[in-house]
Structure 1
Amino acid sequence: MKKKENQRIALTKRLLKESLLQLMSNKSVQNITVSELCSAAEINRSTFYNHYGCPADVLKEIETDVVADLQQIWEEEGSAKNWPMNKRFEALCTYLQEHKKSAKLLFRDSDTNSEFATLLFQAAHVQAAYAQAFPYVTDPDSKRLMITFLTNGTYHLIRQWLLEDIPKTPKELGDLAYLVATQGWEEPPKLRSAK
């Protein structure tokens, strides 16, 4: 009985998520009502309120699912192969390309201050990559600023690639991100003292 109930809950949530993404193709989540979402998903409002408080809660769960999927990819593939940054970035872009329709919607209405961006860049796999970044920088504040710069640039690179349908492959994006990022990862040349 419990298994059947869990399957019913999973189906209800899937229907709500799919319906929300479909509605978001025409308007932002802030303009979608519970009634509208329930009608699109063909479920009643009381069932909706058993799981969520508002449509934004459904979106938040979709975003959490995306980050969990990416975390699983990096744990199963990346850790085993000790992926460098460009391969991690390529895997991220491959996932987003495979889920392009929903990825566009997630990135369309969000920026680097959004909950989605925070979830994405605070994930363990990203933090592990950052832990290895800028090994020559010993000042924690400088390192934090450099990581902020890299994070914001990476987020907007992905966002622009998705929203403008820029014809680059995930591998090309991974190589591009690596090229940009490593300019700051290598120790800068020492300044020569004037004689």
Structure 2
Amino acid sequence: MQQKENQRVKLTKRLLKESLLSLMENEQIEDISVCELCSTAGINRSTFYKHYGKPYDVLADMEQDMINDLSIIWKEKVSGQWTFSKGIELVSTYLKEHERFTKLLLRDTKTDLEFAGKLTGSDHVKKMYDRLLADVKDPESRRLIMTFSTTGSYQMIRQWLLDDSTKSPKEMGELAGQMVSIVIKDQRNRHSIL
């Protein structure tokens, strides 16, 4: 009975997520009501409220699904051989594969900024920077380089997706890696001169 219940919950959540995507193609999330979402999903409101409080909660669940997927991908594909370029390539590949949802997130400034914070604040990103910036000792410089690299890479990927750029995910990774390498090299050179 428990397994059947879990399958029913998964189905309900999947229907709500797919319906929210469909509605977001024509409306902003703040304009989507619970009634409209439930009607589109073919479920009643009491079922909705068993799992979520508002449509934003469904969106947050979808974003968290992406973060979880990326964590698994990065652990499986990168493990101990992490490079910034490879990380950006993997993120670009995943976001391109989920382009419909990603573009809906990225077109709206509010949801875009919230998603960017979740994506760039994840544990795997922090671990990557620990390795990448191991010899940058000044905490303020580390924090500023992380902010520049993360925000710049995120905005670059955002523009790439929204513009339907012809660059491949691998090219995106290489480009981001080149830019970050320049910043880190410059920081190292400044400290070695002092």
What TM-score results when the alignment is normalised by the length of structure 2? 0.92
For residues 4 and 48 of structure 1, do their structure 2 counterparts lie closer, same or farther at Cα, with a shift above 3 Å needed? Answer: same
Instruction: List alignment gaps of at least 5 residues for structure 2.
Output: none
Equivalent residue, structure 2, for 1:114: 113
Change (3 A) 1:27 1:118: same
Consecutive aligned runs of 4 or more in structure 1 exceeding 3 Å deviation: 110-113, 189-192
Matched, 1:188 2:183: no
- Which sits farther off after the overlay, 40-49 or 145-154? 145-154
State the distance in 2 between where 1:44 and 1:112 align.
26
Whole-Å Cα distance in 1 between the matches of residues 177 and 145 of structure 2? Answer: 14
CA distance in 1, matches of 2:92, 2:151: 16
Kept after mapping to 2: 8 A contact 1:19/1:40: yes
Equivalence for 1:134: 133
Is 1:78 the counterpart of 2:78? The answer is yes
**In the TM superposition, what is the alpha-carbon distance from 1:123 to its structure 2 partner?**
1.3
Contact in 1 for aligned 2:88/2:153 (Cα 8 Å): no
Q: Which position in structure 1 is the counterpart of 2:18?
A: 18
Aligned match of 2:91: 92
3-state SS of 2:132 partner = coil
Ranges in structure 1 where 5+ consecutive residues have no aligned partner: none
Aligned Cα RMSD in Å? 1.8
- Which structure has the highest helix share of the two? 2
1:135, distance to aligned residue in structure 2 (A): 3.6
2:103, 2:86 → 1: CA distance? Answer: 22
Q: Is contact 2:82–2:128 with CA below 8 Å preserved after alignment?
A: no
Q: Which residue of 1 aligns with 2:34?
A: 34
- Could you tell me the percent identity over the aligned residues? 50
How many residue pairs get aligned? The number is 191
Q: TM-score, normalised by structure 1?
A: 0.92
